[in-house]
Amino acid sequence: DLLWPVDSVLGEMGFVILDLAEEEAVRNGRPLDREPDTGAGRYLRAYARDGRFIAVLHRDKETGCWRPRKVFA
């Protein structure tokens, strides 16, 4: 009851579910050029296919790509 998932406070952000190649790109700090699965604000939550929370992404205004802001796994 005392520990909450890291992403529990980010519930209002949209999210994207990454395929394996996208997951590797995010883990290595490379941007993604794709639309979110839900929501479209300035930030997105990024998840692996198995549901693990991977990162917070932010939209690069110049390129329109999603760049890793904080990678957790």
Averaged pLDDT, 2-17: 89
With a cut of 70, say whether residue 57 has pLDDT above it. yes
Residues 6+ apart with CB under 8 A from 66: 16, 31, 32, 33, 34, 36, 44, 46, 57, 58, 59, 60
With a cut of 80, say whether residue 1 has pLDDT above it. no
Model confidence, pTM:
0.87
With a cut of 70, say whether residue 17 has pLDDT above it. yes
- Structural contact between residues 49 and 18, judged by C-beta atoms closer than 8 angstroms: yes
Averaged pLDDT, 44-60: 95
